[in-house]
């Protein structure tokens, strides 16, 4: 579970709730028509912009923001180096017995192709195609929330205009001015909150998750290609460590020296 996403949402909602309740009541900031205009309008725009299957998959996309567990690149590099050591010592065919214990299907696929003697260029082409397909799926999920974040403030302004028109039409009835003003002001507020507290932050988190997964898969591709070409395990390690920040590279080097 991603703690920062949960803490951020709770903190944002708590601060806004505190501001609302300070010297006022929650009921003053609750308006059903305003919610319908903003939330309904934003999702209607998403339905117009995207295929239905993308919109229906929104719950699965949100789940990636809260429950995705990115792999540890340092641990992955250790595993790839150990595969290189086995291939160097016992031959690349010996890796076939190790694939049943590997949980990452992308790693298994790459190693299996290397064991089967598939042409190196074809291995790289297939794995890069898979990488591009994953990137495309991630972009679709992120684009959905970017879309909602883009249109929510616009529907807030539409609700404001609706409220103002209703207010101007009922100037002769002072009792109805308050409800019209509520729609006029609260839709702008709701649109800003939906965009800046939920949709756009979740889109940014999905973008971060995508970068992490693509980095992991790039490490796998580079590692499989190095193993297939018979590189020395130390060379494989140095190649893969280029994906790590300098601080993590130093930590790994110190651990290996200490061992």
Give the up-direction half-sphere exposure of residue 258: CA atoms within 13 A in the CB hemisphere.
6
Cβ-based neighbours of 237, under 8 Å, separated by 6 or more: 77, 81, 84
Q: Supply the mean pLDDT for the chain.
A: 86
pLDDT of residue 252: 46
Q: Which tens digit of pLDDT belongs to each residue from 170-183? A: 777 777 676 677 77
Rounded distance between C-alpha atoms, residue 8 and residue 148, angstroms: 19
Rounded distance between C-alpha atoms, residue 40 and residue 103, angstroms: 41
Phi/psi class of residue 196: alpha, beta or left (left: φ > 0; alpha: ψ in -120 to 50)?
A: alpha
Rounded distance between C-alpha atoms, residue 229 and residue 95, angstroms: 14
pLDDT confidence of 17, banded at 50, 70, 90?
confident
Rounded distance between C-alpha atoms, residue 174 and residue 206, angstroms: 47
The one-character DSSP state at 99 is G
Is residue 204 packed enough to be buried (19+ CB in 10 Å), middle (13-18) or exposed (0-12)?
middle
**pTM score above 0.75:** yes
pLDDT of residue 179: 67
Task: Please compute the mean of the pLDDT values over residues 18-30 and round it to a whole number.
Answer: 80
Looking up tokens 């997964």, which residue turns up? 213
Question: Contact 42/196 with Cβ under 8 angstroms?
Answer: no
pLDDT of residue 24: 72
Task: Please compute the mean of the pLDDT values over residues 10-36 and round it to a whole number.
Answer: 84
Distances (CA, A) of 69 to 72, 212, 258: 9, 10, 29
Q: Which two tokens stand for residue 150?
A: 């883009």
Looking up tokens 């190790």, which residue turns up? 98
Is 70 exceeded by the pLDDT of residue 259? no
Is 50 exceeded by the pLDDT of residue 255? no
Rg (CA), the chain: 26
């Amino acid at each position: 579970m991603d703690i920062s996403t949960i803490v951020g949402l709770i903190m944002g909602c708590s601060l806004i709730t505190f501001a609302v309740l300070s010297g006022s009541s929650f009921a003053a900031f609750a308006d059903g028509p305003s919610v319908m205009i903003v939330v309904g309008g934003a999702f209607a725009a998403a339905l117009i912009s995207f295929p239905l299957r993308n919109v229906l998959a929104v719950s699965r996309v949100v789940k990636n923001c809260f429950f995705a567990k990115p792999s540890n690149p340092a641990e992955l590099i250790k595993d790839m180096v150990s595969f290189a050591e086995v291939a160097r010592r016992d031959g690349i065919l010996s890796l076939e017995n190790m694939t049943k214990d590997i949980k990452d299907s992308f790693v298994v696929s790459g190693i299996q192709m290397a064991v089967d003697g598939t042409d190196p260029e074809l291995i790289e082409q297939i794995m890069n195609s898979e990488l591009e397909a994953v990137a495309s799926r991630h972009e679709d999920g992120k684009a959905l929330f970017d879309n909602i974040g883009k249109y929510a403030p616009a529907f807030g302004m539409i609700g404001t205009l609706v409220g103002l028109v209703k207010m101007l039409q009922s100037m002769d009835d002072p009792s109805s001015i308050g409800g019209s003003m509520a729609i006029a002001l609260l839709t702008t507020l709701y649109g800003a909150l939906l965009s800046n507290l939920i949709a756009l932050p979740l889109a940014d988190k999905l973008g971060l998750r995508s970068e992490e997964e693509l980095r992991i898969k790039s490490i796998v591709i580079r590692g499989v290609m190095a193993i297939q070409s018979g590189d020395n395990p130390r060379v494989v390690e140095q190649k893969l460590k280029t994906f790590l920040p300098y601080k993590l590279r130093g930590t790994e080097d110190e651990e290996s020296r200490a061992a």
